[in-house]
């Protein structure tokens, strides 16, 4: 068999093309993975630095998610407290209305009793007081 004989210029061009093909493959690998250094063989220091930073970013993302969940929980609790406060205010209002109604009823009973006593004593006019008005 015959050997292929190439001169030094062709050999140099072939080596340059092989180097270019290797760099193209490396660039395609970086583009596919999104990483500048995809393994410890490429650059050990950069690879392990990047791995540590990726782990830290993952930890921070987890913490951020936890904080977000905590904020949502506190917002829900705040809304619940506001709703309970509204219910308490409504209960106070109803209690005050009931207290005022009882006081008015007591005043009416006392006025009616006084009118009955005055009526039995022979008085010709009977007046009832409801609040500040007279009838």
Structure pTM? 0.46
Residue 22: per-residue pLDDT: 93
3-class secondary-structure state, position 129: strand
Tens digits of residue pLDDT in 19-56: 999 999 888 877 887 777 877 887 889 889 988 999 99
How far apart are the C-alpha atoms of 39 and 33, rounded to whole Å? 11
Beta strands per DSSP E along the chain: 129-130, 133-134
Tens digits of residue pLDDT in 77-103: 999 999 999 999 999 999 888 888 777
């Amino acid at each position: 068999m015959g050997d292929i004989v190439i001169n030094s210029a062709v050999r140099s061009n072939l080596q340059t093309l092989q180097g270019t093909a290797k760099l193209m493959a490396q660039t395609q690998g970086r583009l596919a993975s999104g990483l500048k250094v995809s393994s410890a063989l490429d650059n050990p220091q950069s690879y392990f630095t990047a791995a540590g930073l990726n782990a830290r970013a993952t930890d921070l993302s987890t913490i951020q998610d936890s904080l977000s969940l905590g904020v949502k929980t506190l917002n829900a609790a705040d809304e619940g407290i506001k709703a309970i406060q509204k219910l308490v205010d409504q209960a106070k209002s109803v209690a005050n209305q009931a207290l005022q109604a009882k006081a008015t009823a007591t005043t009416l009973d006392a006025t009616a009793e006084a009118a009955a006593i005055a009526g039995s004593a022979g008085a010709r006019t009977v007046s009832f007081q409801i609040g500040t008005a007279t009838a």
